Amino acid sequence: MPKVTVEHRTARHDQIVSAARRCAIEQGFHKTTMADVIRESGLSAGAVYGYFKSKDELVSAIADQALSSVDELFEGILASDQPLTPLAALRATLEHVVEIAEQPGGDVTRVALQAWAEAMHNDAIAGIAREKYSLLRHKFAEVARRAQADGTVDADVDPEYIAQVMFALIPGFLLQRLLLGDVTPKTFATGLTALLK
Amino acid sequence: MPKVTVEHRTARHDQIVSAARRCAIEQGFHKTTMADVIRESGLSAGAVYGYFKSKDELVSAIADQALSSVDELFEGILASDQPLTPLAALRATLEHVVEIAEQPGGDVTRVALQAWAEAMHNDAIAGIAREKYSLLRHKFAEVARRAQADGTVDADVDPEYIAQVMFALIPGFLLQRLLLGDVTPKTFATGLTALLK
Amino acid sequence: MPKVTVEHRTARHDQIVSAARRCAIEQGFHKTTMADVIRESGLSAGAVYGYFKSKDELVSAIADQALSSVDELFEGILASDQPLTPLAALRATLEHVVEIAEQPGGDVTRVALQAWAEAMHNDAIAGIAREKYSLLRHKFAEVARRAQADGTVDADVDPEYIAQVMFALIPGFLLQRLLLGDVTPKTFATGLTALLK
Amino acid sequence: MPKVTVEHRTARHDQIVSAARRCAIEQGFHKTTMADVIRESGLSAGAVYGYFKSKDELVSAIADQALSSVDELFEGILASDQPLTPLAALRATLEHVVEIAEQPGGDVTRVALQAWAEAMHNDAIAGIAREKYSLLRHKFAEVARRAQADGTVDADVDPEYIAQVMFALIPGFLLQRLLLGDVTPKTFATGLTALLK
DNA sequence: CATGAATGAGACTTCATTCAT
DNA sequence: AATGAATGAAGTCTCATTCAT
């Protein structure tokens, strides 16, 4: 009974989060009502509130997910021993971002923007964002360190500073992609190559 | 009578926008109620609605302002004839951003984040954002073109692609500044220099 | 303008309290919904909430009123110089209670019972009840003191103790009147006379 | 099987009533949710509903219990042949009340107040209250009759009227005890003695 | 014109009760 | 018989907007 229940709970949980995410992608956190989520999830109000104590909690869950999605990539990339230049790391990241964005079910990166805005006056989300993005930036710092070891990048500079710049390109790319719609990993990498050279 | 009225109207208008901006900086667009704006502006409900037909219209006005603020800088920079490297342009922009952010009355860049999120499902704001950011990016493209003319940057690459990257650094810097709080124009420029070299 | 407004506000306030009291008399605090009060008052939800921040606050207002109603009587009674025996004071009080109870608009004493119950786990109402009933009991103590001065009642006994007993008869009378419906000031005074003699 | 089951059922029944009573003492009938009772009883929702068809039915059961608790005393008192003055009967009753109130598990007299309020618009509880309190008052009438037989009290007065007054003192005492907290059987009896003399 | 009290649709959330397992 | 997840009606409260004064 416990195993069935746990799986069941997880399934329901995901059912709700997915529904809520779909809503948030289309309408943003604030225009999304609990009634929307309830309808979209196919459950009842009581059921949804059995899994999330409040709209805030549900929003945090979606935000968490959206802010985490870029991160996963690095596990694979950094593990390998092959040389990883900053340019290559960035290009891989951008391609990963686009892959995520184009997954069926809607562009989750739109939710990331919502989360950034929300973090300005929602401590829970601000905390999540800080945590996730610190982690991500540390991974860029690791890439920077490798480049410094290779002699490709000036070893005197704090790798965290280099990571700041590398990291910055991700939201910058995302924003242009969503707002202006004319950037692709390819155009971006091309521009980047020209500048770095 | 008309002239006095026009000045009066402008003053009132600004009074409302300032009040609304102060609210949006602290609480975001959605937590800010018209009652908040009315109280903060010191006017009456009727008065506020005399200047803005709806909350949406008021929000658009604040968003517009927040999205424009970075732009102004370039008027001055590009006008001069002295050589302007991408690095120098970026550094100047970042410093300008921080200057704006630290102005008394609250950090307007927080409102820019709100505007990005809002643009995802608000056509008016999406339009404003596209317009303002296209303009800004064109200016970065102009800088890129100058660098290509100087031979500093590969002339074969579409300057718009280079502008995409340069532009990306601004929201990327902003986001880290607001979320993580540990980037400054100096650290950022240092990292950037290391990468570009 | 201020005077009109104040009167207006008071009128609206009373309109709401009256409506809420009518509901509470019939259905009690808890079965009474804000929708009931809103309908009964003839106002809108927003209007009602403009006068009372919450249902709790409205309930406290009604409770306050119900707990105060017995008190008024004493102003007149104690002012006069004529001798006032405990028996006479009680009889007058009971008659006053019945008069209040039979006023058109419903029996307010039913609300007093609600308030007693509510005071058990509502600090605001507990506070009001303590305040009002302390006051009332002090007035009975004053009556006791006069009787002691007259030599009618043993002067050695703390008049507050005597007041406790006198006071007790009021809720005891009220409860029987509402629950059993067979007590009147006359039967009660008759029984009281027999005991006191 | 039947006998075991009956005992089992009774035990379960009491388990539920005790849990519900504990909740009602602390929070009152209305703030107490079935979920509270279910949690406090340690049973499941289904189990509780196996014993009580509805919350109303459960509330009635608790109210019944609370309204009965004073009554028990008289069985013993009246049975004896020793003279029983009204004062002595009252004093014994008050002491019994306090004893009940101070029993571990919470002050049940708080629930009696709830029941009075509830009786105003709940026919089931009103019926119970009428029944229990009529019974109790009849016992006071019996005491009055004995006093009249002794010549202590005017025999011309309807003993029911005397009972009304005696009975009234119980809720009056209870209310002051719960609300003001400064009455004890001793202070009360002292005041009563002073008045009766 | 300005005011700000009033409107009322609609948001979030709770909770008594049921019923598939 | 027992469980407890699920139901969904109904409750409280907010807030953008209007309009009589």
pLDDT grade for B46, boundaries at 50, 70 and 90: very high
D156 burial (CB, 10 Å; 0-12 / 13-18 / 19+) is exposed
Q: Does B14 touch chain A (CB under 8 A)?
A: no
Amino acid of residue A62: I
* pLDDT for the residue D52: 97
Chains A, B: CB contacts under 8 A, how many?
176
pLDDT for the residue A3: 45
CA torsion A51-A57-A58-A62 (nearest 10°) is -130
Residues 133-172 of D with CB under 8 A from C: 133-134, 137, 153-154, 157-158, 160-172
Do C189 and C98 meet the contact criterion of CB atoms below 8 Å apart?
Answer: no
Q: Which two tokens stand for residue C104?
A: 């058109």
CB-nearest partner of C161 from D121, D153, D187: D187
Mean pLDDT, chain C, integer: 93
Residue of D nearest to C186 (CA): D161
Nearest to C175 by CA among C112, C121, C131: C112
Of A5-14, A104-113, C34-43, C152-161, the least confident = A5-14
Q: How far apart are CA D7 and CA A116, in angstroms?
A: 62
Contact B117, A113 (CB under 8 A): yes
- pLDDT band (50, 70, 90) for residue C2: very low
Q: What is the pLDDT of residue D4?
A: 56
Residue B45 confidence (pLDDT) above 70 = yes
CA distances from C161 to C152, C167, C188 (A): 16, 10, 21
Residue D5 has a pLDDT of 79
Q: Is the pLDDT of residue C52 over 90?
A: yes
CATH of domain B66-196: 1.10.357
Q: What is the mean pLDDT of residues B85-112?
A: 94
What confidence category does residue C4 fall into, taking pLDDT thresholds of 50, 70 and 90? low
The C1' atom of E15 and the CA atom of D34 lie apart, in whole Å, by: 8
CA B103/CA B110 separation, integer angstroms:
13
Which residues on chain A are in Cβ contact (under 8 Å) with B26? Answer: 121
- Taking CA atoms, D69 is separated from A59, A128, D27, D94, D97, in Å, by 51, 56, 20, 12, 8
- Non-local (6+) Cβ contacts of D164 within 8 A are C173, C176, C182, C183, C187, C188, C191, D137
Closest to D59 (Cα-Cα) out of D78, D41, D33: D33
C119 touches chain D (CB under 8 A): yes
Residue B138: its chain A contacts at CB < 8 A?
none
SS (H, E, C) chain D: CHHHHHHHHHHHHHHHHHHHHHHHHHHHHHHCCHHHHHHHHCCCHHHHHHHCCCHHHHHHHHHHHHHHCCCHHHHHHHHCCCCCCHHHHHHHHHHHHHHHHCCCCCCCHHHHHHHHHHHCCCHHHHHHHHHHHHHHHHHHHHHHHHHHHHCCCCCCCCHHHHHHHHHHHHHHHHHHHHHCCCCCHHHHHHHHHHHHC
- From chain A, the residues in CB contact with B171 under 8 A are 168, 171-172, 175
Closest Cα partner for A111 from A7, A10, A15, A27?
A27
Among A16-20, A37-41, A127-131, B73-77, which is the least confidently predicted range?
B73-77
**Mean pLDDT, chain B, whole residue set:** 93
Is residue D166 within 8 Å of residue D140, measured between CB atoms?
Answer: yes
Q: Give pLDDT, residue B72.
A: 78
Short-list C154, D11, A115, A24, CA closest to B175:
A115
Q: What angle do CA C91, C120, C102 make, to 5 degrees?
A: 35
pLDDT of residue B50: 96
pLDDT tens per residue, range A42-58: 999 999 999 999 999 99
Q: What is the Cβ-side half-sphere exposure of residue A57, based on CA atoms within 13 angstroms?
A: 9
Chain A nearest C-alpha distance from B11 (Å): 29
Q: Say how many C-beta atoms besides its own lie within 10 A of residue C77's C-beta.
A: 16
More confident residue, C2 or B5: B5
- Could you check: is the Cβ of residue B44 within 7 Å of any atom of nucleic acid strand E? yes
**Is residue C80 scored above 80 in pLDDT?**
no
Phi/psi for D77 (5° steps) reads -60, -50
A64-72: average pLDDT: 88
Residues of B in contact with A135 (CB under 8 A): none
Report the pLDDT value the prediction gives residue A55, as an integer from 0 to 100: 98
Tokens at residue C173, please?
Answer: 């009378």
Tokens at residue B142, please? Answer: 């102009």
Q: Domain coordinates of chain B in residue numbers? A: 2-53, 66-196
Chain centroid to Cα B41, Å, comes to 23
Give contacts of C 73-102 with D, CB under 8 A.
86
Nearest to D63 by CA among D3, D130, D12: D130
Q: Work out the pLDDT band at A1, boundaries 50, 70, 90.
A: very low
Which of C133, C137, C176 is opposite residue D168, by nearest beta carbon? C176
Q: Which among B166, B179, B195 has the least Cβ separation from residue A162?
A: B195
Query: What is d(CA D156, CA B66) in angstroms, rounded to the nearest whole number?
Result: 92
In contact, A112 and A133? CB cutoff 8 Å: no
Among 3.40.50.450, 3.40.50.620, 1.10.490.10, 1.10.10.60, name the CATH number for the domain at A2-53. 1.10.10.60
Comparing CA positions, the residue from C69, C171, C105 lying closest to residue D116 is C171
Q: How far apart are CA D171 and CA D167, in angstroms?
A: 8
Whether residue B190 and residue A118 make contact (CB cut-off 8 A), yes or no, is no
Query: Does D165 contact C113 at a Cβ distance shorter than 8 Å?
Result: no
pLDDT at B15 over 50: yes
pLDDT at D99: 93
CB C70 within 8 A of CB C96: yes
Interacting residues of B28 by C-beta distance below 8 A, sequence separation 6+: A117, A118, A120, A121, B114
Contacts of B145 (CB under 8 A, 6+ apart): B159
Q: Which residues 6+ apart lie within 8 Å of C100 measured at CB?
A: C69, C70, C108, C109
Q: Which residues of chain D have pLDDT under 70?
A: 1-4
Q: Would you state the pLDDT for residue C5?
A: 79
Give me A68's structure tokens.
């985490």
What DSSP element (H or E) covers A103?
A: none
Distance of CA C21 to the CA centre of its chain: 13
The answer on pLDDT for B2 being more than 60 is no
Distance, CA of C42 to chain centre: 27
- Chain D, 33-72: which CBs lie within 7 Å of strand E? 33-35, 45-46, 49, 54-56
Q: What is the pLDDT of residues C97-138, one digit of tens each?
A: 999 999 998 999 999 999 999 999 999 999 999 999 999 999
- Alpha-carbon Rg for chain C, nearest whole angstrom, is 19
Rg (CA), chain B: 19
Cβ proximity of C21 and C106 under 8 Å: yes
pLDDT at B139: 93
Whole-angstrom distance, CA of residue A43 vs CA of residue A27: 20
Q: Cα separations (Å) of D123 from B182, C29, D67?
A: 68, 16, 15
* CA–CA dist A72, A99 (Å, integer): 12
